[in-house]
Amino acid sequence: MITKIKNSSFLKDTFITFAGQFIVLLTNFIINKMVAIYVGVSQFGVFNIAKRSATVLGFIVLLELGISVPRYFAMNKHINRERAYDYYQTGLLLMIIASGLAIILGIIFSNSISSLLFGSAKYSFLSLPMIIFAIGTCFTTFSFSAYRGAEYYYLYTVIQILIQIIDMIVIFIFRLDGVATILFFWGISNILLSIPFLGLFSFLNQFPILKKIKSFKKRIKELLIYGLPRIFGDVIQFSYYLLPLVIVNREFGKNSSGIFSASTGILQSFLPFFSYIGIILLPTVSKALVDRSLGEVKKQLKVLMLLYFAVSIIAVLAGFIFAKPIMIILYSSKYIRDLTIAKVLLITLVPRSQFLLLRNPIDAISVKPYNTWNLAISVLLMAVIIILADNILVIAWSFVLSDSLLFILSLITWHKLVNKELKEKI
């Protein structure tokens, strides 16, 4: 089996993807540092509330087409390439329609959006930039997903890095024009950059950008039936770092929300390494569930859990020791006012890394959205603690407690599912 993997394109594709994501991670660090310096501590919290809200909105507008389109494209490309392209084109049209509706609703309810996120209608001027940023996120995510679904890993990696670099240039150009302008032109840049890459995708598949779609209603139905139930899970996942920030901004002010944003940023800077490993493991675990006994998979996961635990503990200790220089490198010296919050949040890395490992085999073994249910329960615990909290440190500890619950629920779910399968095979 190992020989087959070595001789296949799996390791090569994995290396290309991982290397590309590492470069993207570095550019994200640079972008965060640029924004943190240019907008200042007081506006950095506002920026992150707007950006994270736009990201959550982006996944709603995208209708999970970033998952469904590459899935159906990959399933059909070797059987019927025209049908595969029909899924891509149908998804693109759905995204454009949803984007138009989002702009209309954003303009109509701009005051309500501002009041919900910032506790005041005075930030209503951010609503349209947030919508544009969300749509830009949709376009880039859709583009990346299409290239992955067609297995154009080289192009996917190059395009992603190129867009990141141009985003840095755009942020630098509008660095002195405030949060709204940065978000607006960042979103416009992503939309405009995605258009030629979407055209290139059509060219590579030897189809015109616009062609008659066969069984159009059927394609819409398939994409939406697969994608819509999964939106809730992504909304919960990306609201994890939005809800506390909104509360901190409302209750403790803009400066505190800026510090809290930077602290959660350090935690999020570590998480991608565990996420990328999980992404790489997913097809391997899925294949193992078919090719080998579940008992063997269960043993392998125990080893991987110990490995994740050891690595996460080392990362937490490193974060505790080097919290100050890390904060300065990622942001600036203005953000080191209260490193206790950052250190508490880093503890979350231990249970969160275990969830990032377990969610892949859980998804592989069951079609039911157990991860979504577990996330919902853990977020509910976080929300209760945050509502009762009288200081920011308690809010930071809510991350630790909710992620610990998420890990426990995931572990129980995995053992329940795998033991059920093992009994059925006896």
Residues 104 and 196 in one domain: yes
Tally of domains within the chain? 2
Whole-number Å distance between alpha carbons of 48 and 50:
5
Residues 121 and 255 in one domain: no
* Domain membership flag for residue 4: no
Which of the listed residues 176, 209, 239 is the one where a domain comes to its end? Answer: 239
Q: Which residues, including other chains, have CB under 8 Å from residue 266's CB and lie 6 or more apart?
A: 319, 323, 326, 327, 330, 342, 345, 346
Whole-number Å distance between alpha carbons of 105 and 84:
32
* Domain membership flag for residue 3: no
The helices-and-strands tally (H runs, E runs) of the chain is 17, 0
Q: Given pLDDT bands bounded at 50, 70 and 90, which one contains residue 17?
A: low
Residues 38 and 158 in one domain: yes
Task: Phi first, then psi: give them for residue 151, nearest 5 degrees.
Answer: 65, 35
Q: b/e string for 25-49 if b means 16 or more Cβ within 10 A? A: eebbeebbbbbbebbebebbbbbbb
* Domain membership flag for residue 417: yes
* Domain membership flag for residue 246: no
Q: Given pLDDT bands bounded at 50, 70 and 90, which one contains residue 236?
A: confident
Residues 266 and 350 in one domain: yes
Whole-number Å distance between alpha carbons of 235 and 64:
11
Which of the listed residues 214, 239, 264 is the one where a domain comes to its end? Answer: 239
Total-model pTM:
0.75
* Domain membership flag for residue 1: no
Residues 187 and 107 in one domain: yes
Residues 169 and 275 in one domain: no
Structure tokens, 7 = 């001789």
pLDDT in tens, 263-275: 887 777 777 667 6
* Domain membership flag for residue 162: yes
State the residue range of the domain holding 300.
251-425
Residue from 353, 357, 341 nearest 256 by CA? 341
Residues 230 and 189 in one domain: yes
Whole-number Å distance between alpha carbons of 320 and 342:
9
pLDDT in tens, 321-357: 988 888 888 887 888 877 888 899 999 999 998 998 8
Residues 140 and 225 in one domain: yes
Whole-number Å distance between alpha carbons of 334 and 331:
8
Q: Which alpha helices (H) appear in 119-242, and where do they start and end?
A: 127-149, 153-173, 179-204, 216-239
What's the pLDDT score for residue 209? 63
Residues 157 and 282 in one domain: no
Rounded to a whole number of angstroms, the distance between the first and last alpha carbons of the chain is 25
Residues 218 and 269 in one domain: no
Q: What is the DSSP string of 146-157?
A: HHHHTT-HHHHH
* Domain membership flag for residue 326: yes
